[in-house]
Structure 1
């Protein structure tokens, strides 16, 4: 059977080259006589794997020695807890720009552990259809937290926000990590679940300024303390070995693709095929997000009725295009066009959308 065009929001499509290399290594890793999944995380062979993955993160983003890279389990959802637990000192407020479901969860987790939360800006007034253009910090901010891409609603930060000197900037970059150039030096900490753009589920990549680790609150549980992973080279306990290996392969694919500038152009072209149909549909397809804030990773739109949306999703699936149903909290349709989605997949969807509109308009 031919592979389908996979528009799932995560876990998501992976590069075919990566899948084929992993397929070979799954049974016999580089002629070692065992699977990469069977390998001891304390072995020399696995240390080489995690070292290469670490080095590729730093190389692709151009990180200096002042940054560390950590590989942590628990998903971005655990980061919603870890960031305030580690960095919100007594008497300081967690400042969050609220742009959707995931920033709401970050707010909830900070509140859960008794941290003061200040919503510095919000787009909830218009159903998260835009990125706020300004914000107001509290009097004593611990840090400012943003969600760089909103998977569910389909909005994305186009430029990195300016923050006053002395205010750390933290980003949940789970769904646009490694999708375009990023001025990482603006950030004290960035975290990203792997399962959107850089691998399968099971690992979060954390990029953190080493001197920021010196500000961590004391007395934290070991597994919720960033310094635990920093001091142990992400090997305090058994890490998600196979996921880290897969992340390394995807990062190698990004390097071979030409780096983030080339990847970004690739993503602009793919999203352009689909947004062009939406923009020229005379309202048949209604995008959720204002044009200047639209995501290159998650394209959200509605049709005139839920029945027509169900028909659209069903007919697309029959043509080998899956994962187009919107998130359960919002409904509608969503096409996720992550790095690994091939250009022909985006083109096929745009052609189907044009055909469907012609037949149902």
Structure 2
């Protein structure tokens, strides 16, 4: 069966070996006579999957016992609400750095629940770069500083993170988690929807320092309280078992690729291929992001006219490239080159871009 060249922004490409493994287990997981989707979430077989996923993530990211790993639902969008619900206490302020649509949405939800402030923003430049920060502007009553590490719509990414903060640092890493090594100890909380680098949609990973759980009040709705999920090993209610199973397979695959370091090397090569075509096109392709803020996960660019863009996307689709349309709020084109997108597919896209330019 022919596989397409999948550059979708999310749900995104999954490793082919992971899909084949899941296909093999689909009807009969390890001799149980049941699919993973049919296993009880209280069964020994599922418990091994659940705990195995947590253990493997801890190993890959060097997560210490100072943190809890939670498997939740609702995507990053629910975390936009859960973070301030649990952590934005009375008389404190949640600080946000605006770098795109998703950081805006996170701020909008926090405003409904408490006091907020924008520490920095690049909105006036149509989010072409990661803005500089003046950490001295953070007041003593700050509850946390929230950032979005990679911005899928605008194609920008943080190359380094704030250090020596006196307040908890929280990051939405939905679109670049596991793509390059990070020092998890810089963060008090990291969360990520799985559907870009971790697995399929349906599960959200939350990595959270133990001290933050102390802020979760008993008055919160049970399912919106982080403490509920910590106490119950993310098994208070039925979890998205099949999504967590696939997450575990993806984490095994990451390990087989040489871990996060191995993937980072491949991701660098993929990004360089596309940005080289853009930079050497004499303006035919124009990247949206500033050079120092370019994303290695989402390469965004425009062509000289809308008609040429439409022609580019139509020809690309005919040649088997899927998901290259830019987000409706930005337009142009976007190639999402997450961990599971093979280097060979990115090379094919770079070749197509060069051929298309020559045709004009």
Please classify the TM superposition score into its range, dividing by the shorter chain length: over 0.9
1:102-141 pair list within 5 angstroms: 102-113=102-113, 115-135=114-134, 136-141=137-142
Partners of 1:324 and 1:293 in 2: how far apart?
Answer: 20
Q: CA deviation at 1:139?
A: 4.6
| Partner of residue 347, structure 2 | 347
Deviations 1:130-154 (A, max 9, x none): 0012233245211000000001000
Structure 1: which 5+ runs fail to align? none
| Partner of residue 182, structure 2 | 182
CA contact (8 A) 1:163 1:169 kept: no
| Partner of residue 164, structure 1 | 165
| Partner of residue 73, structure 1 | 73
CA contact (8 A) 1:199 1:247 kept: yes
Instruction: Provide the aligned C-alpha RMSD in A.
Output: 0.9
CA contact (8 A) 1:160 1:183 kept: no
Q: CA deviation at 1:164?
A: 2.6
Partners of 1:101 and 1:29 in 2: how far apart?
Answer: 40
CA contact (8 A) 1:189 1:208 kept: yes
Q: CA deviation at 1:31?
A: 2.0
Q: CA deviation at 1:84?
A: 0.5
CA contact (8 A) 1:94 1:116 kept: yes
Q: CA deviation at 1:218?
A: 3.9
CA contact (8 A) 1:110 1:117 kept: yes
Deviations 1:203-243 (A, max 9, x none): 10000111221222341101111111100000000000000
Give secondary structure in 1 for the equivalent of 2:205. strand
| Partner of residue 156, structure 2 | 155
Q: CA deviation at 1:66?
A: 1.0
CA contact (8 A) 1:222 1:228 kept: yes
Partners of 2:277 and 2:94 in 1: how far apart?
Answer: 40
Number of equivalences: 358
Deviations 1:39-98 (A, max 9, x none): 110101000000100001100011111111000000100000000010011011110000
Give secondary structure in 2 for the equivalent of 1:30. coil
Partners of 1:307 and 1:76 in 2: how far apart?
Answer: 35
| Partner of residue 256, structure 1 | 256
| Partner of residue 270, structure 1 | 270
Partners of 1:19 and 1:28 in 2: how far apart?
Answer: 15
Partners of 1:218 and 1:171 in 2: how far apart?
Answer: 25
Partners of 1:164 and 1:319 in 2: how far apart?
Answer: 49
| Partner of residue 35, structure 1 | 35
CA contact (8 A) 1:155 1:295 kept: yes
CA contact (8 A) 1:120 1:138 kept: no
Partners of 2:209 and 2:116 in 1: how far apart?
Answer: 23
Relative distance call for 1:124 and 1:163 in structure 2 (3 A) is: farther
Answering whether residue 304 of structure 2 is matched by residue 295 of structure 1, we say: no
Partners of 1:301 and 1:137 in 2: how far apart?
Answer: 34
Q: TM-score, normalised by structure 1?
A: 0.98
Q: TM-score, normalised by structure 2?
A: 0.98
Partners of 1:38 and 1:276 in 2: how far apart?
Answer: 47
Partners of 1:56 and 1:197 in 2: how far apart?
Answer: 15
Instruction: Point out the more displaced range, 27-36 or 172-181.
Output: 27-36
Q: CA deviation at 1:274?
A: 0.4
Answering whether residue 242 of structure 2 is matched by residue 247 of structure 1, we say: no
CA contact (8 A) 1:68 1:207 kept: yes
| Partner of residue 238, structure 1 | 238
Q: CA deviation at 1:163?
A: 4.4
Give secondary structure in 1 for the equivalent of 2:30. helix
Answering whether residue 144 of structure 2 is matched by residue 143 of structure 1, we say: yes
Q: CA deviation at 1:127?
A: 0.4
Give secondary structure in 2 for the equivalent of 1:31. coil
Instruction: Point out the more displaced range, 299-308 or 142-151.
Output: 299-308
Q: CA deviation at 1:291?
A: 0.8
Partners of 2:164 and 2:157 in 1: how far apart?
Answer: 18
